[in-house]
Amino acid sequence: MVLSKQHRINRGEDFRRILRRGRRISNAAGVFVALPAERPRFGFIVSKAVGNAVERNRAKRLLRAAARSTLGQEIGAEVVVKASRDVLSYSVDELAGLLEEVARLATAR
């Protein structure tokens, strides 16, 4: 199942704005950056440092599943995730918890 279009960040300028001005949490899974917004939106940066194409796609699927599971929560933030190689060792629930945590930080300003 895909993340609906209204919940995706696609434009480069949006990625740059969030990465420049957002609140961040870093851990072994990567860097999670969020800015307050009217509706939840998610963007993922998964570079070749994560692994080969199969591993990168698996990482993106994990992150999308985590983002979908947080949509039921009342998250008002745009979140960008710069994934590291260790993101593959996290479960969907753990990643969802990280997404919720960074979104709460962003909206607590």
Q: Which tens digit of pLDDT belongs to each residue from 12-53?
A: 999 999 999 999 999 999 999 999 998 899 999 999 999 999
- The SS3 assignment for 90 reads coil
Whether residue 64 has pLDDT greater than 90: yes
Percentage of the chain exceeding pLDDT 90:
79
**Mean pLDDT over residues 58-83, rounded?**
91
Strand partners, 44: 81
Whether residue 83 has pLDDT greater than 80: yes
Mean pLDDT, the chain, as a whole number?
92
Task: Report residue 109's pLDDT band, with 50, 70 and 90 as the boundaries.
Answer: low
Percentage of the chain exceeding pLDDT 70:
98
- Sequence-separated (6 or more) residues with CB below 8 Å from residue 106: 22, 23, 34, 35, 36, 77, 79
Pairing status of strand 77-83 against strand 41-45: parallel
Q: Helix 92-107 crosses helix 53-70 at what angle (to 10 degrees)?
A: 60
Strand partners, 31: 26, 82
Give this prediction's pTM: 0.91
Place of tokens 């994990």: 62
CA-wise closest residue to 38 among 75, 91, 1 = 75
Task: Report residue 72's pLDDT band, with 50, 70 and 90 as the boundaries.
Answer: confident
pLDDT of residue 1: 64
